[in-house]
Chain A
Amino acid sequence: MADQLLETLRDAVEGQIDFEGQRLAELVTTVLLGVSGLIAFFVGYVQQDIYQTLWIGLGGTALTFIAVVPPWPFYNKNPVDWLPPHNSIADLRIDVDGNQVG
Chain B
Amino acid sequence: MHSALVRVQNVFGFFTTVAFVVATIVALSVVVTPQAPSASVKLRNVQVVRGRPHYYSTKREEYAHIKFDLDADLTSLFNWNTKQVFLYLTATYPSLDPREPPSQAIIWDAVLPSLSAPLHHNQYIHPAKNGKASKGKKAPYPPGEIHLAAQRPKYQITDFSGKLQNRTDAVLELGWNVQPWVGALTWVNYQDFGVWKGLNGGKSKVFQFPEIRKRKEADLKTEKGGEGNRGKPA
Contact = CB atoms under 8 A, between A and B. Distances in A.
Interface of A: 13-17, 21-22, 25-26, 29-30, 33-34, 36-37, 40-41, 44-45, 48-51, 53, 57, 61, 64-65, 68-71
Given A17-B1, A49-B116, A25 B22 contact: no
Interface in B23-77: 25-26, 29
B21 interface: yes
B81 A33 contact: no
Which DSSP category, helix, strand, loop or mixed, fits chain A's interface? Answer: helix
Interface string B71-98: 0000000011100000000000000000
Contacts of A22: 1-2
Interface residues on B, range: 20 to 34
Q: Which of B11, B19, B79 has the most CB of A within 10 A?
A: B11
B61 to A, nearest CB: 47
Contacts of A30: 14
8 contacts: A15-B4, A33-B14, A37-B22, A41-B26, A45-B80, A50-B181, A65-B8, A68-B11
A11 B18 CA distance: 31
B22 A57 contact: yes
Contacts of B116: 49-51
B161 interface: no
B103 interface: no
B166 interface: no
Contacts of A61: 11, 15, 18
Contacts of B26: 41, 44, 50, 53
A13 B15 contact: no
Contacts of B79: 48
B134 interface: no
Contacts of B130: none
B85 to A, nearest CB: 15
B4 A14 contact: yes
Contacts of A41: 22, 25-26
B7 A25 contact: yes
Contacts of A71: 4
A37 B11 contact: no
Contact of A50 (B5, B7, B18, B80): B80
B191 interface: no
Contacts of B181: 50
A50 B14 CA distance: 21
